[in-house]
């Protein structure tokens, strides 16, 4: 699942994300295996959990950096006579700032369209991520029951 998000990224970043995804997915599989009653009912939603996990890693490793870069760079480029700003070895022009910003906005719109709270992606441990997924799933189930 993570490959969808890493295919156009630099090799080192892509590798880090794949390693993190595989490690966390192994943890997820362990927690939903039936050994923990609290998470057992999530086993039927493993594909959704995989997608949310991949989204969360992409968000944490890529989009938060894009968001920070665009906020900083746009202030400099649009409020001065600078045509671009150098970030590491990369030169960020106003055109690239708009592209990065569009990516961040599109991602946030996707989350909004599917009622995925951004807080779902703010975790340190996989168990914390799964707890948030469980709460999210339970709230979706309650809303589905209310709406019949």
pLDDT in tens, 14-40: 999 999 999 999 999 999 998 989 998
Residue with tokens 């970043």: 13
pLDDT exceeds 80 at position 132: yes
Comparing 71 with 115, the larger pLDDT belongs to 115
Every domain of the chain and the residues it spans: 3-138
Q: How far apart are CA 25 and CA 1, in angstroms?
A: 10
Residue 24 and residue 51: Cα distance in Å, rounded?
12
Residue 10, SS3 per DSSP: coil
> Distance between CA atoms of 4 and 26, rounded to whole angstroms?
19
H helices, E strands: number in the chain: 7, 2
Q: Which two tokens stand for residue 48?
A: 């959704």
* Tokens 């019949």 sit on residue: 148
Asked if 13 and 61 touch (Cβ cutoff 8 Å), the reply is yes
Which pair of structure tokens corresponds to residue 54?
């991949």
Question: How sure is the predictor about 47, in pLDDT bands with cuts at 50, 70 and 90?
Answer: very high
pLDDT band at 79 (very low <50, low <70, confident <90, very high): confident
Could you tell me the pTM of the whole model?
A: 0.85
């Amino acid at each position: 699942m993570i490959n969808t998000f890493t295919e156009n990224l630099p090799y080192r970043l892509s590798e880090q994300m794949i390693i993190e995804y595989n490690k966390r997915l192994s943890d997820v599989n362990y927690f939903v295996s039936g050994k923990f009653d609290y998470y057992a009912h999530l086993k039927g939603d493993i594909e959704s959990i995989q997608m949310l996990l991949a989204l969360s890693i992409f968000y944490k490793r890529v989009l938060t950096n894009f968001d920070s870069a665009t906020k900083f760079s746009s202030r400099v480029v649009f409020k001065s006579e600078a045509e671009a700003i150098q970030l590491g070895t990369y030169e960020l022009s106003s055109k690239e700032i708009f592209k990065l910003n569009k990516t961040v906005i599109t991602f946030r719109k996707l989350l909004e369209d599917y009622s995925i709270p951004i807080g779902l992606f703010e975790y340190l441990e996989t168990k914390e991520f799964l707890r948030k997924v469980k709460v999210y799933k339970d709230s979706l189930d309650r809303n589905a029951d209310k709406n019949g």
